[in-house]
Amino acid sequence: MRRFWLPLAVTLAALGQETELRFPPLGPVTIPKVETFTLGNGLRVYLLENHELPLVSGLALVRTGNLFDPPDKVGLATLTGVVMRSGGTAAKTGDQLDEELENVAASVESSIGETAGEVSFSALRENTGAVLEIFRDVLGGPRFRQDKIDLATTQLRSEIARRNDDAEALGAREFAETVYSKDTPYGWRIEYGTLARIRRDDLVAFHRRHFFPANILLAVYGDFAAPEMKARLEALFGGWDAVQPPVPPFPPVRGKPHPGVFLAAKDDVTQTVFSVGHLGGLLRDPDEPALEIMANILGGGFSSRLFLRLRTQLGWAYDIGAEWGAAYDHPGLFQVSGSTRSSSTTETIQVVLQELDRIRSAEVTGQELETAKEAALNGFVFHFDRPAKTLSRLLRYQYYGYPKDFIFQYRKAIEAVTKADVLRVARQYLRPQDFTIVAVGHPAEFGKPLSTLGLPLHPIDLTIPEPAAK
Amino acid sequence: MSLRARVALLLCLLFPVAAQNLKEFEKRVTEFALPNGLRFLLLERHEAPVVSFHTYVNAGSVDDPSSETGLAHMFEHMAFKGTDRIGTRNYREEAEALEAVERAYDQLEAEQAKGPPAARIEALQDQVRAAIAQAQSYVEPNAYPRIIEQNGGVGLNANTGEDSTEYFYSLPANRIELWFLLESQRLFHPVFREFYKERDVVREERRMRVESSPEGKLMEMLLATAFAAHPYRQPTAGWASDLERLRAKEAREFFLRYYVPANITIGIAGDVDPREARRLAGQYFAPLPARPLPPPLPTVEPPQEGQKRVQVETSSQPFLAIVYKRPGQNHKDDPVFDVLSGILDQGRTGILYKELVRDQRIALSASASATFPAGRYPNLFLIYVVPNARHSVEENEKACYDILDRLKREPVAADALARVKTALRASLIRQLDSNAGMAVQLTFYRVNYGDWRKLFLGLEDIGRVTAGDLQRVVRQYFVESARTVAYTSAPKGEGK
């Protein structure tokens, strides 16, 4: 069992001299010991006992993702993830699973996202055995019954029909797809046409290719005895002998910038939602901690520069923030995003660009650096406030190939960040000439037109390609 | 053993869960009130050296004066602006400057009240702007939240609802005293600085949550239609015209009237020593003077005399909301409504999902909520439907009525009823390991039901609900004359 202590607390200068609070040292943080082992078929298991509540839960993390969708069948991974659970197992239809699980307040859920597939369960302790069996069958033996493929397809079609209704979701999607390029897997989207081409066989094949023991990390958490759980998992999964060649790496992000202003016009809003930014980086980049401090000073909370100027001082925005947005295995999205009344759209984006310029022009102040660093270091204990967080972190680190003690390396790196580092990384990594600016709003009501930004202006076509007639 | 057999066993196992957990919990909960009426609930969880704090003020947008809607929410924003010692460079001078702002505003409003011609208006507006700029020069902006952030605070936020205003965050456990200091200061000496800029921010929040959101617009119109008199009809965000004219002096009056110690309950959950917390509570909060509780809200919603319908035009895909009048949370039928909402929308076995989404495929989602928009006063049972593409609001509306008619004719199946009760019990267990969640729950149940134990004991009321109760409640309350229907549709001429 490892322990660590946070740095001894400081006094509160901001309250004036008459109030000096002295904090006692923080009590020890207990880092739970996670047991790991690998079954003969390659399935890697992580167990963490916790007896506070009579509950057991688990997560299988599977190396797959919608980045592996065939270009003419975008939506295949998403659909596979949904119907794995809803389409039932050999023994039970999906509807039967719904009843059996909910009868005992348990759940088994599945989904496939961009760079991972997840199948999870949660059960009251006394039902662990029965629920684990369903979990195993959903993970390894889904039947993809056609009626539930049809249901999921209907649902996805409705989501396509609704995809331009919410301005914030629309802005986030257009920003991500534009920065990653619409002609790469990171920028593809599900259309009626791509859905229509997907057949049950495609789901079966996609599942078979990615869901095999050596491609899965399994974590189980809660109220059990580890030796018994180990035996139970061996009995349940040990005979699963599916073998496939290793899953290839995810496609790389192609770094071509898409500078300019991209405008989505909507006439039923009184506000403009905007994002400004470009590709970010990886969590493991040595400069990532300095970039995170930089982004926090720029727009990370109540104390940040963008909050101060656009919200507190100008009253133009309620929602405003910045994040460096590093991801584990491919460049994430650096973005400043927020919303403002239609009439101040252009001026607000100008203030954002000024602040981006300012953070590249001069060192941040000592107080800004101190606030950002102390927030991260004093709040570090919240990475350990629940034992399940340690387990989940360990699983992600393993999945993406990070060292087990990455969180401690990260803390050390935060401690070392200087004002000079912040300026250096802002200059090195923020590239104003590459900024993609996405705005969703009602242009007739913009006071100053967006063209006054002096940047190329591209309208976003919100037409939804109609489904082919059936 | 089959899962079906397990259900019976599980029910036996779960029935004592409430009592067991309660016994176990009582050992770790400390409740006390200071002589001024301020009440504390402490829950010890020593699993990690962190603590969550939750301040529950028993006042919300129902308490907004009728021409000052949005005031409770506006005050919530002011509670982050600091105090006479935090956020100022020179409080004495700042206080004078803030008074000058109010005087300038009084003059402007008096002139505006005279009506046209508006000869002096511009000059007076300039005077207001100058006074604000002068007051601003004393401000150390965002000093109050910065102290919390710098000390490792997480989850810092607040929420204004119809019945309550709640403030919350978590800190490393060694900084508990910091919370006592900061929270007591903002309840003692809030300073209404930067009020008029913050009013613009709140106006912006309304644009985001309501005016630019089809669902936000729909819900606002739904409440304004369903309630004829009770202030649940007023939007928490405030009407735009009220909001744009709110004054700092009005926020101060609201604070003095509603933020009295006996109207505030504080939950603290985590690595906290009750004796130490009690000492700090005495040190920091006992000096707050006792003040009388605000008078109860006099307005009672009159009986509804017939169905009401409201249509909101937006260019988005349609949404449908159907509501029925129901009594407040302390009525004996309250647990029946909770079970009924489970019967309708629990997971994938709820009737709405099974019929509208899964079998008929006319809806993308369909859900029910027993208590809307809040529970202290008679309120609404809500059914909310997102129709599938190419399926109409009318089709979905009819399908909902068919379900309700069936519930009036036929009793709910025993296994469905047992499933909902099991789910409600399990969901309590699943909340117990969250400091922040438990700080919310303890204060909520204490204020709204008079006893935090109701969080556990309420499950016994749930356990007693029968199929007969459900049938009676659907027959009694889900009648056309007590119904309001709200939906969105494309503007005329633009529809497909």
pLDDT per position as a tens digit, A209-236 = 999 999 999 999 999 999 999 999 999 9
Asked if A389 has any chain B CB less than 8 Å from its own CB, the reply is no
In a domain, B252, yes or no: yes
Given a cut of 90, is residue A346 above it in pLDDT? Answer: yes
Cβ–Cβ gap A271/B207 under 8 Å = yes
E strands in B175-223: none
Among A351-355, A385-389, B361-365, the minimum mean pLDDT is found in A385-389
pLDDT at B2: 44
DSSP state of A454: -
Type of residue at B41: L
Kindly state the tokens that stand for B212.
């630019």
Look-up: residue for tokens 């899962």? B3
Residue A4 pLDDT exceeds 70: no
In this structure, what are the phi and psi dihedrals at residue A340, rounded to the nearest 5 degrees?
-150, 155
Q: Which residues contact residue A108 at a Cβ distance below 8 angstroms, ignoring those fewer than 6 apart?
A: A85, A97, A101, A119, A120, A121, A131, A134, A135, A138
Model confidence at A9, pLDDT cuts 50, 70, 90, reads: very low
- DSSP conformation class of B219: H
Of B270, B285, B300, the last residue of a domain is B285
Residue A28's pLDDT is 86
- The count of domains in chain B is 2
CB-CB under 8 Å, A103 with B4? yes
CA pair distance A300, B145, nearest whole angstrom: 12
Tell me the C-alpha distance between A156 and B442, whole Å: 40
Average pLDDT score, chain A: 94
- Alpha-carbon distance of B450 to B457, in angstroms, equals 12
Cβ of residue B92 closer than 8 Å to a chain A Cβ? no
Contact B172 A166 (CB under 8 A): no
What stretches of B246-319 adopt beta strand conformation (E)? Answer: 264-270, 308-313
Per the domain annotation, does B457 fall within a domain? yes
- Residue B480: count other Cβ atoms within 10 Å of its Cβ: 10
Residue whose pair of structure tokens reads 């019976």 in the numeric block: B8
Amino acid present at B373:
P
| CA B397 – CA B358 distance, rounded (Å) | 16
CA distances from B191 to A117, B130, B248 (A): 51, 19, 10
B263/B168 same-domain check: yes
B93 domain-assigned:
no
> Which of A135, A381, A390 is the best substitution to test chain B (most B C-beta atoms within 10 A)?
A381
How far apart are the C-alpha atoms of B425 and B164, rounded to whole Å?
26
- For residue A29, what are the CA distances in angstroms to A387, A406, B143? 10, 17, 30
In a domain, B244, yes or no: yes
Task: Mutate one of A1, A18, A100, A104 to test the B interface: name it (highest B CB count within 10 A).
Answer: A104
C-alpha distances in Å from residue A397, one per residue of A214, A327, A400, B483: 17, 12, 5, 53
Q: Report CB contact under 8 Å: B146, A104.
A: no
> Which residues are bridge partners to A317 per DSSP?
A340
Query: Is some CB atom of chain B closer than 8 A to the CB atom of A11?
Result: no
Question: From CA A69, how far away is CA A75, in angstroms rounded?
Answer: 7
* Residue B463 and residue B349 in one domain: yes
Q: Residue B253 domain-assigned? A: yes
In a domain, B495, yes or no: no
> What secondary structure letter does DSSP report for A64?
-
Residue with tokens 């300038």: B104
Q: Which residue has the tokens 């460049």?
A: A331
Contacts of B246 in chain A (CB under 8 A): none
Asked, as a colleague might, if the bond just before B373 is cis with ω within 30 of 0, I would say yes
Do both B258 and B336 map to the same domain?
A: no
* Whole-number pLDDT of residue B25: 85
Statement to judge: residues B317 and B431 lie in one domain: yes
User: Are both B255 and B372 inside the same structural domain?
Assistant: no
Nearest-Cα distance to chain B for A334, in Å, is 22
CA torsion sign for B172, B177, B178, B179 is positive
The predicted structure's pLDDT at residue B116: 77
Mind listing the pLDDT tens digit for each residue in A42-69? 999 999 999 999 999 999 999 999 999 9
Minimum-distance CB partner of A98 among B194, B211, B349: B349
CATH number of residue B84's parent domain: 3.30.830.10
| Same domain as B377, residue B274 | no
Compute CA distances A225 → A34, A221, A232, A324, whole Å. 13, 10, 11, 41
pLDDT number for residue B3: 42
Residue B434 in contact with residue B384, Cβ under 8 Å? no
Same domain, B446 and B315: yes
Q: Is A98 on the interface with B (CB under 8 A)?
A: yes
| The pLDDT value given to residue B24 | 81
Give the whole-angstrom CA distance, residue B493 versus residue B496.
8
pLDDT over threshold 80, residue A17: no
User: Could you give the CA distance from residue B243 to residue B71 in angstroms, rounded to a whole number?
Assistant: 8
Could you tell me which of B180, B287, B479 has the C-alpha nearest to residue A23? B180
Q: Identify whether residues B225 and B322 lie together within a single domain.
A: no
Closest residue to B3, CB basis, from A130, A158, A266: A130
| Residue A313 near chain B (CB below 8 Å) | yes
**What values do phi and psi take at B249, rounded to 5?**
-65, -30
Q: Considering only residues 242 to 281 of chain A, which have any Cβ-Cβ distance to chain B shorter than 8 Å? A: 266-271, 273
Residues near B181 by beta carbon (within 8 Å), at least 6 away in sequence:
A15, A19, A21, B284
Q: Using 50, 70 and 90 to split pLDDT, how confident is the model at A202?
A: very high
Q: Looking at the structure, do residues B281 and B312 belong to the same domain, yes or no? A: no
Kindly tell me if the per-residue pLDDT of A1 is higher than 60. no
Identify whether residues B229 and B312 lie together within a single domain: no
Could you say which residues from 9 to 28 on chain B have a Cβ atom under 8 Å away from some Cβ of chain A? 9-10, 13
Among B379, B286, B367, CA closest to B60: B379
CA distance B307 to B39: 43
Question: Both B268 and B368 in a single domain?
Answer: no
- In this predicted structure, the answer to whether residue A468 has a pLDDT above a threshold of 80 is no
Q: What is the pLDDT of residue B19?
A: 63
Minimal Cβ distance to B141: which of A9, A266, A308: A308
Write down all domains in chain A, each with its CATH number in brackets: 32-237 (3.30.830.10), 260-459 (3.30.830.10)
- In this structure, of A5-14, A440-449, B289-298, the range with the lowest mean pLDDT score is A5-14
Residues B275 and B315 in one domain: no
Q: What residues in chain B have per-residue pLDDT under 70?
A: 1-20, 493-496
B348 at the A interface (CB within 8 A)?
A: yes
Which residues constitute the domain of residue B253?
40-88+139-285
Angle in degrees, 0-180, between the axes of helices B454-464 and B3-26, rounded to the nearest 10: 150
Exposure string for A61-73, b = 16+ CB within 10 A, e = fewer: bbbbbbbbbeeeb
Residue-level pLDDT at B493: 60
pLDDT the model gives residue A99 = 97
**B204/A339 CB distance under 8 A:** yes
Q: Is residue B10 part of a domain?
A: no
Q: Is residue B343 one of the residues assigned to a domain?
A: yes
Q: Tell me the residue type at B169.
A: Y
- Rounded to whole angstroms, how far apart are CA atoms A176 and A168? 12
pLDDT confidence tier of residue A5, bands split at 50, 70 and 90:
very low
